Structures are given as structure tokens and as C-alpha cells.
Amino acid sequence: MSTTVTIDKPETTRALNQLEQLKRLTKVVADTGDFATLKEYAPQDATTNPSLILKAAQMPGYKNLVEKAIADNRKSGVTGDALLGRIMDDLLVLFGVEILKIVPGRVSTETDADLSFDTNGLIDKAHQFISLYQKQGIGRERVLIKIASTWEGSRAAEALQREGINCNMTLLFSLPQAVACAEAKAKLISPFVGRILDWFKAKAGKDFPPAEDPGVLSVREIYAYYKQFGHNTEVMGASFRNKGEILELAGCDLLTISPQLLGELKNSTEPVECKIDLGIPQGKMEKLQLDEKRFRWLLNENAMATEKLAEGIRIFNADAVKLEKYIAERL
């Protein structure tokens, strides 16, 4: 009599894609105002800026948000530039509210670029955004106010953080900017990795491998400085040009990533390793002593940071003006 032995085959385990692996090391943030993208990649947080909102507002799927912002503010009786300004603020917050229905964490909403050197103006704008979110039932703990990393921006962040309003310091390209923001106790900074690379590529006339990418090295330096001197400000790498930059910063507190690069990560199962600690060893950096004069001098001595900060403010302002024009045509 023969006996048949059945051997159970082990269940095959699906290899994690790079996005899934990265989420185990770093909080992943989506750099988009497109709701469909947020649903597809399931990030923890989301960031927006005038360029992203301009792009989204012109998509047919978001026409209703533009119309709602216009209709709600027409009832106020305000006219002219004041009406346009109120609609702009409302539209940014309406996008933020919809984003928060999708992501479990926070949304970043950007202050006006033309307020980048106006401390009181930045504080007032932050209060306006927080008030609009509260009217929509959104608490301040789910909102990050994005402010350019100027000296005035860091002073505004210092005041806002004391009130419990968390700030995301954007357009950051240098260690002095990062230190000023950390000493102001800003909740989060966004070093622009790709824009740093752009500048050095143009100057050197060559590309850089990810491990030698000037933007990557800048974030590692900032991360090491924060750890050495006990700063609690979160570091969120931003503005990536390629997947290699992202993988070289795996393990950073947060990384905000465009839809295209999120897709590239999702479509690969190559291993992802923690790389952020490959920077300067703790205990090897000198503490920067900063006041306004020292900050401005160190920023001035860094041609890349000076140029990219000014350029970034101009670009965001130009896109905000385009968004205003787009809305004005519909009034």
C-alpha cells in the first residue's frame, strides 16, 4: 500500500518596493496639490506651494474649489485687491482642507512670497491661515505654515512657535539658515536638495553622483549639526531631482517627494538602506554664533544660497501673481 505525502509549499512573500522600505526609515511627504496622487501613494503629510496650487487650480477636477472660494468671498462686500487677496487665502486653505481628508498627518500652507522680508506681515498671514482652518474645523496641530528662510522669516517663526503655530521653513540652502531656524525653534525645515545641485551643476559643468551630490551633503551637514547641538527642529529634504538623492537621505526625519519620483520608488524593489548618518560625525562641528549681522554676512558669503534664495522667492511670487490673474479672470 502506497502512501502519498503532501508537502505544503511555503507562501511566497512579496518583496517590498522602495517606497514601502523608505516609509520604514523616514516619514514620506507628497510634494503635490493633486488629490489623486495623494490617494495613490498614501504619504503621511503633504506640502504645497504657489507653483503646485497654480498647476492644480487649472485642472478641471479642482474647478469647484476655485468657484467656491470666489462665491464665498463675493458675499463679503469686499472689492478690488482686497477681494482677490481673500480669495487667494481661502483657495489655499480649501486645498489644504481637502488634502487633510486624505493624509493622516499635516499639510503645509505657504505664506505670500512678497512677505519674505516682513516679519509682522508673515505673522499676520499665519494668523489668517490658522483662523481660516479653524473655521473649517481643522486644528492648528495639523497645519504647518510655510515661511521663506530669511532672517525676517526666522523671527516670524520664533513668535509663531511660541503661540503653538508650527512652521515649515522653506527655500533653505545653507547651514546658517538652518541654524537660525532651529534657534527660533521652528518645527521643521525644508532644505532644497535639487536646487542646490542645479547651481553646482551649472557652475562645474558636470553632474554629480548621488553620494557626492552637493544638496545631499548639505542636508547631512545640517542633520549632523542638529544632532550634535540638540536641536529638535525636524529636517525634511525637498526639491529632489532624481531618485538617487532620495535614497542617499534615507533615514532623514522627513522627505517630501514629487509624484514622478514617488512612482519610481514604487516601481523598484532594490534594497533601501539608512544613509543619513553618513555625514559629519557628532562632536566635529563648531557651534555657529548667530545674530542678524552674522546671519546676513554668512548668507552673503555663500553665493549659491544667496542666489537660490532670491530666485526661489521670485519664482514663488511670479506663480502667485499668475494664480491671482487666473482668479481675477473668473471674477
Q: Would residue 149 count as lying in a domain?
A: yes
Percent above pLDDT 70 for the chain = 96
DSSP summary character for residue 171: E
76 CB neighbour count, 10 Å cutoff: 11
Q: Which residue has the higher pLDDT, 178 or 11?
A: 178
- The Cα–Cα gap between 233 and 166 comes to 10
- pLDDT for residue 104: 95
Instruction: With a cut of 50, say whether residue 54 has pLDDT above it.
Output: yes
- 271-275, Cβ contacts within 8 angstroms, sequence gap of 24 or more: 271/21, 272/18, 272/21, 272/22, 272/25, 272/247, 274/25, 274/250, 275/247, 275/248, 275/249, 275/250, 275/251
The pLDDT of residue 243 is 97
Task: Report yes or no on 6 lying in a domain.
Answer: no
pLDDT tens readout for residues 203-245: 999 999 999 999 999 999 999 999 999 999 999 999 999 999 9
Mean pLDDT of 146-163: 98
For residue 12, the model assigns a pLDDT of 53
Do 180 and 290 contact (CB within 8 A), yes or no? yes
Residue 1 in any domain: the answer is no
CB atoms within 10 A of CB 135: 11
The total of structural domains in the chain comes to 1
DSSP, res 28: E
61-109 pLDDT tens trace: 888 998 999 999 988 888 888 899 999 999 999 999 999 999 999 999 9
Residues 13-28 pLDDT 10s: 789 999 999 999 999 9
**CA nearest to 225, candidates 274, 272, 273, 191:** 191
Answer whether residue 255 shows pLDDT above 60. Answer: yes
What are the pLDDT digits (tens) for 261-320? Answer: 999 999 999 999 999 988 777 778 999 999 999 999 999 999 999 999 999 999 999 999
Q: 16 lies in a domain?
A: no
22-33 CB burial, b ≥16 within 10 A, e <16: bbebbbbbbbbb
- All three cell numbers of 254, joined, read 522627513
Q: Work out the percent of the chain whose per-residue pLDDT is above 90.
A: 80
**173 lies in a domain?**
yes
Q: In this structure, is residue 269 part of a structural domain? A: yes
* Tally of CB atoms within 10 A around 100: 20
Is there a domain that residue 180 lies in? Answer: yes
Answering whether pTM is above 0.85, one says: yes
Cα Rg of the chain (Å, integer): 22
Please say if the pLDDT value at position 2 is more than 60.
no
Residue 256: give the domain boundaries: 23-328
Catalytically annotated residues: 146
Q: Which CATH number do you get for residue 235?
A: 3.20.20.70
Mind listing the pLDDT tens digit for each residue in 102-139? Answer: 999 999 999 999 999 999 999 999 999 999 999 999 99
Q: Do the domain assignments include residue 308?
A: yes
Check whether 5 has a pLDDT greater than 90: no
Q: Give the mean pLDDT of the chain.
A: 93
